[in-house]
Amino acid sequence: MTREVDPPLTLYIHLPFCIRKCPYCDFHSLPDRLGDESAYVARLIVELRHWRGFFAQDTRLLHAIFFGGGTPSLLQASSIGSILEAVRLTWPLEPGCEITLEANPESCQREKMAVWREAGINRVSLGIQALDDQRLRLLGRPHDRAGALEAARGLLESGFTHLNADLIYATPGQSLDSWRGELREAVGLGLGHLSCYALTLEEGTPFQARHAAGRMVLPDEALSLAFFGFTRHFLAEHGYEPYEISNFARAGQACRHNGNYWAYGDYLGIGSGAHGKWSDGAGVTWRWANPADLSVYLRESFATPERLSAREAGMECVMMGLRTRVGVERARYRGVTGVDLVEACGARVMGLVEAGLLEVDGERVRVTEVGVSRLDGIVERLVG
Ligand code: SF4
């Protein structure tokens, strides 16, 4: 089996440092480890060269680069510049390569913004999370509403034209009315992209423990659905296309790196806890994950790629693709499984089409607007 078209290749760089741990967060993020910054940056560069050697035959250029975390803005701006310089020397970039940096308001000073721009960062994703001080305190965030607004203003005035704000909704005690006010204000900031996530309770977090002990009440299912529907409707009305279940973009502002991930493209992940996914020309998908332990990352060898079965790769391709408005690309699915999704899952696909939850054409399989709030059930019925 050979693939019909090479998928794009992007680079994800994980920077796990944070000021403190937010009580809902289960990402690989570490307070109090900034003392390891320079050793970590040096290790990232070693890892980058390691993968360049490992995939020496691959001639693709980098389509996008994404600094995620953690809080990448917490690092010295010169560290971001050093990493990017090493990337350019190791792996050629496509012209106009999107280079995103995740930033939080409390570490987003204007002097840093200037250095980021100089280094080549051309997109910033700002972790605003809420525009209400009470909600920010509940979420355990170190910034306040004024700090969030100042950071957004500073980025715009520094000349960044591709900006995202992350927002969290469906938090304890939140009303739809107050969310409408925050969302209106977020739209008024004039950023081209918004990511809006419902609060989820992750295993092992303080929020999950509080909820289990009956000390935290989340909105019920009906209210959560109302938040979800309202957010999509309101943002669509204000010119933000819901191009992924939680992501909304004005024309030309969709995130390339994340888009490639959802389209089941290839990505090289470097850093502690980072994941990678690679497809070779013979249609085999490879995966790896570095241990989510900074000390181990600094001293031990990097992860070894493991081969995914066609079934595993096909499931991942469907799970990712159905999150997006454009849906699963049938050619990409054929490329990783050797069979066509509609032919392989014919009765299940048709059942979902008849129920008004899926749409199919010659190139793609996508979830309808009715199906979008029942995504988990659709994926389960299709490939579970
Ligand atoms: S700032 Fe982000 S990555 Fe860091 S602890 Fe909070 S939610 Fe997690």
364-367/358-360 β-pairing: antiparallel
Domain ranges of the chain: 9-260, 309-384
pLDDT for res 5: 64
283: confidence class by pLDDT, cuts 50, 70, 90: confident
Percent of the chain with pLDDT over 90: 96
Encoded tokens for 298: 């600094």
| Nearest residue (CA) to ligand 1, atom 7 | 25
Averaged pLDDT, 325-334:
96
Asked if the model's pLDDT at residue 123 lies above 80, the reply is: yes
Which ligand 1 atom lies nearest to the CA of residue 25?
8
Enter the DSSP assignment of 34: G
d(CA 304, CA 288): 6
The dihedral formed by the CA atoms of 272, 273, 274 and 275, expressed in degrees to the nearest 10: 140
C-alpha 381 – ligand 1 centre gap (Å): 33
Q: How far is CA 228 from CA 188, 199, 224, 273, 357, in A?
A: 20, 11, 6, 30, 17
Global pTM value = 0.96
C-alpha 353 – ligand 1 centre gap (Å): 39
C-alpha 337 – ligand 1 centre gap (Å): 36
The dihedral formed by the CA atoms of 354, 355, 356 and 359, expressed in degrees to the nearest 10: -50
pLDDT for res 301: 87
Q: How far is CA 239 from CA 62, 81, 154, 192, 250, in A?
A: 29, 34, 23, 9, 6
Encoded tokens for 55: 């995939």
C-alpha 83 – ligand 1 centre gap (Å): 22
pLDDT for res 2: 44
Which ligand 1 atom lies nearest to the CA of residue 24?
7
CATH superfamily of 9-260: Aldolase class I (3.20.20.70)
Instruction: Find the residues whose C-beta lies inside 6 A of ligand 1.
Output: 18, 21-22, 25, 27, 29, 69-71, 104, 127
Residue with tokens 């423990």: 209
Enter the DSSP assignment of 73: G
Contact 152, 191 (CB under 8 A): yes
Asked if the model's pLDDT at residue 378 lies above 90, the reply is: yes
306: confidence class by pLDDT, cuts 50, 70, 90: very high
Architecture of domain 309-384: Orthogonal Bundle (1.10)
